[in-house]
Structure 1
Amino acid sequence: MDPFALVQDEVSIVSERLCQSIVSNVPALEQAAEYFFRPGVRGKRLRPTLLLLMSSALSDQQPAPELLLPDHRPPHERPQEQRRRQQRIAEIAELIHVASLLHDDVLDDAETRRGISSLNAQSGNKLAILAGDFLLARASVTLASLQNTEIVELLSRVLEHLVAGEVMQMSAAPEQLTSMAYYLDKTFYKTASLMANSSRAVAILGEQQPEVSDLAWQYGRHLGLAFQIVDDLLDILGSSKQLGKPALNDMRAGLATAPVLLAAEEQPGLISLIRRKFKGGSDVQYALEMVQASNGIQRAKELAAQHAQLAAQQIEALPASSSPHALAAREALINITHRVLVRSK
């Protein structure tokens, strides 16, 4: 089963609305904002896919055919249909995600993203930051249109978490740099919070009970953690061509991720390198050799698999349904937990 195929048409609707929402009467701003929304560099749309699948997993009714057609209403107009409101959450999540990429690339001084030059490398830091701000502003307009204070609070918390996670990364004390608990908290804020809180949002819009919304949140949390740990592994194991960005980028940026932190429990020599953020001339190479000589990579794979399994268990714990539509979506959400573990980029 291809989980992406199950909601492919609906994701296309969301993608079309995303392109409509970033129109501006300032050509330079519009060109910058659409940088990662162009064909070929859009990514897999993981977040819209999992949110639309979650919407289906919590509904016995298949969306009416007219809800699978393009929606040309302006972002500030509140849709009356429940499924359209859930589609708006998918739209908002992708806008927030891409905005965070633009901002991260500036903070990390990144030169490539998704196999092409990063926007900051192409057009400068100022325009990249402003383009990210513009996407967040557009997301805020769509969010306000839902006229639901609980949803506004959830998605606003995501923005707070993105900032908090970045500051945690920048300001960590020496003992925090080597703390696995600190790393997991930071990873939740930077990656998993968006998946968790947007998953809860579609459950709330689907008028689910709090315990079901909690399961949706836990699914997003564990999937997000698994996703990022695999990303950390790929940074060590993958090639620059595979990743669409430089390999070993994390250590070169002074960051110790899951496989490195787990390796440090066996290789004490890593601790001093981590605490000086790999600034010595050969620190990255020495660190890589110590990681490879340890069980850090294997333990990180096991940790990612543990979180993926916990994500799948949340779907299995959803209230029983006999709807083929809901069951297919649940199977797809579980399938995504497996795919996250075997991705190569």
Structure 2
Amino acid sequence: MLRSGIRNNRELVVRLYRLNSTTTSIKTSSTSNVNTFKTAVETAEKLVQPPAASKIFHDPFSIVSHEMSNLAKSIANLIGSGHPTLNRVSSYYFEAEGKNVRPLIVLLLSKALSKIPLEQRNRIKIDTFDVTDQPHYKGTPTKTSIAGRGVDDSISPLAILHGINPKVILDPLSKPMDKLPKFDAVNGILPKQRRLAEIVEMIHTASLLHDDVIDLSDSRRGRPSGNIAFTNKMAVLAGDFLLGRASVAIARLRNPEVIELLSTTIANLVEGEFMQLKNTVLKNDDTNVIDNDGEDKLIPQETGKVPTKQHEYSIQCQDIVDHNTNVDAAFEYYLHKTYLKTASLMSKSSRAAAVLSGSQDEIIEKCYEFGRNLGLCFQIVDDLLDYTSSDASIGKPSQADLKLGLATAPILFAWKQDPSLGELIGRKFNQEGDVEIARKAVEKYNGLDQTKLMAQEYCYKALENLRVLPESDARSALEFLTNSILTRTK
């Protein structure tokens, strides 16, 4: 697997070098410190605008520039409220320079899917509001038809949605949203896929506002976090508001399968956060939780009036058995939590992009697996960077996981070699000296190197998933972006 991945890397570098030869000088060196992830993102942000007729296309990342450059503005049209302070808090994180990886993936994948011949993209019929030159619903849609309406059109009357008479009261919510650019046959990205990219970033940003309150963060994207710049209460309410606005936009995609996928990601984010609160499967006792002061807190017991059965997909706690079994269970717990918190949104939005393209089931499944593997790789690298990066380089507090009591891959690998670390993990490193002991153990047992290898494995799986798509500049960009995640420094 490793040799295959290295070979894929070399082939990809050669391919991208040729594609970029007239626009970008790519310097490679074994000692180079260039942040290829940043380069990939910056170039990829140029990737949604079809080239001018007189200009030969060379840069694989110049395909989505228009959509990426207008992403924040388009989202602002979706989240506008009648309250100026709410507008300010809701748009706060969109003002700063973020990675925007999630919408970028959706747009690049949508572009790559458009290269599949139309006759092979007939799983669903695409209505006239998607694209006019593909098979669509025949006849004029009736007034009750939701398939024949665009992503900007409300289903219920605006006066009902907003509780006002839009003809009398001037309110941002009563104005029609800016129309998306008309579909361009050269570009291939559908309006609903563009809107999907915006929705994904809204959901992600809402989770950041909530996470920063939960984690007591003081910085995000190089400036004060939302909870510091405003208040905890405003940050939480703004996150809730973003999720509400995203839910409206999801409904207007008018595809039940996509609505189900995206709605589930919101629930997954919360489930993942609760898994992180518990941290590991070491303790079967769910009657106690750790409060903000690091103390055990007894929670109310069930009354029996409402059933609280766990879903079958839940990771079940293990009884204390042998050390290797405990470590394996902890890794399973960690990866499931990582999927829920990070990979779920990437994988299900990738699947949604494929569904909206009309692609067949095999393609849809591979797109989902691509997003899942990429998301796991992304978060594992994030957990790695928490040990190796400075605050300034990543734009948020570094080395915070251990301080928050989180057992991520580096310390789990060290625990596998040193069973005594289980006691520290179980108490969430809350005693004096625990964090330093854990850091030294990670270094002693090569926890970072093993974590990097784990990330590489998911990276190579994601690259393999992409091979189901036709060769194109968009697929090359996705491959380059996937590889660059391993070398990112922020």
Match of 2:282 among 174, 183, 187: 174
- State yes or no: 1:118 paired with 2:225: yes
What does the per-residue CA deviation read over 1:80-134, in whole Å, with 9 as the maximum and x for residues that have no partner? 9671000011000000000000011111111111111111122111110100011
- Cα distance in 2 for partners of 1:192, 1:93 equals 12
**What percentage of residue pairs aligned between the two structures are identical?**
43
Q: Which of 43, 48, 51 is residue 106 of structure 2 equivalent to?
A: 51
Greater C-alpha radius of gyration:
2
Distance 1:210 1:161 in 2: 23
- The 5 Å alignment of 1:12-161 reads 12-38=69-95, 41-60=96-115, 74=152, 76=154, 83-161=190-268
Counterpart CA distance in 2 for 1:188 and 1:209 is 25
Deviation at 1:211, TM superposition (A): 0.9
What is the root-mean-square deviation in Å for CA atoms of aligned residues? 2.2
User: Does the C-alpha gap of structure 1 residues 34 and 291 become closer, same or farther in structure 2, counting only changes over 3 Å?
Assistant: same
Is 2:369 aligned against 1:261?
A: no
Q: Which amino acid aligns with 2:105?
A: L
Deviations 1:227-280 (A, max 9, x none): 000000100011111121222101100101111111111122321111110001
Q: Determine helix, strand or coil for the equivalent of 2:472.
A: helix
User: In terms of mean alpha carbon deviation, does 183-192 or 110-119 score higher?
Assistant: 110-119
Q: Deviations over 1:127-177 (max 9, x none)?
A: 101000111111111111111111100001101100110111113442569
Q: What SS does the aligned partner of 1:202 have?
A: helix
Whether the aligned pair in 2 keeps the contact of 1:14 and 1:87 (CA below 8 Å) is no
CA deviations 1:5-53 (Å, max 9, x no partner) are 3212221233321122222111111110011111xx1302111111110
Change (3 A) 1:133 1:209: same
The equivalent residue for 1:189 is 340
Unpaired runs of 5+ residues, structure 1, are: none
Alignment of 1:287 onto 2:438: yes
- TM-score calculated relative to the size of structure 2: 0.64
Greater helix fraction, Structure 1 or Structure 2:
1
Give the CA deviation at 1:73.
Answer: 7.7
| Residue pair 1:119, 1:128 contacting (<8 A) in 2 also | yes
Provide the C-alpha distance between the structure 1 equivalents of 2:104 and 2:420, rounded to a whole number of angstroms. Answer: 42
- Name structure 2 gaps, 5 residues minimum: 1-15, 17-42, 48-63, 118-130, 132-149, 155-176, 184-188, 284-316, 318-325
How far residue 75 of structure 1 moved from its aligned partner, in angstroms, is: 6.8
Q: Is the 8 A contact 1:220 1:311 kept in 2?
A: yes
Maintained 8 Å contact 1:195/1:220: yes
User: 1:214 is matched with which residue?
Assistant: 365
Aligned twin of 1:329: 474
**Does the C-alpha gap of structure 1 residues 121 and 329 become closer, same or farther in structure 2, counting only changes over 3 Å?**
same
Q: Which moved more, 1:256-265 or 1:89-98?
A: 256-265
Aligned partner of 2:310 in structure 1 is none
Q: Tell me what 1:162 maps to.
A: 269
CA distance in 1: counterparts of 2:241 and 2:75, whole angstroms: 13
Paired amino acid for 1:45: N
Instruction: Answer yes or no: is the 8 Å Cα contact 1:75–1:141 preserved in 2.
Output: no
The reply to whether residue 249 of structure 1 matches residue 367 of structure 2 is no
Work out the CA distance in 1 between the residues paired with 2:71 and 2:215.
Answer: 29
Amino acid at match of 1:51: V
Match of 2:381 among 222, 226, 230: 230
Q: Secondary structure at the match of 2:343?
A: helix
**2:126 matched residue in structure 1:** none
Structure 1 residues 191 and 276, CA, compared in 2 at 3 Å: closer, same or farther?
same
1:293 is aligned with what amino acid?
A: K
Read off the aligned partner of 1:174 and give its amino acid letter.
Answer: L
CA–CA separation in structure 2 for the residues paired with 1:73 and 1:145? 5
Mapped contact 1:47–1:94 kept (Cα < 8 A):
yes
Measured in 2, the distance between the counterparts of 1:73 and 1:221 equals 27
Give the match for residue 4 of structure 1. Answer: 45
SS at match of 2:237: helix
Distance in 2 between residues matched to 1:344 and 1:192, nearest whole Å: 19
Whole-angstrom CA distance in 1 between matches of 2:203 and 2:416 = 35
C-alpha distance in structure 1 between counterparts of 2:410 and 2:265, whole Å: 26
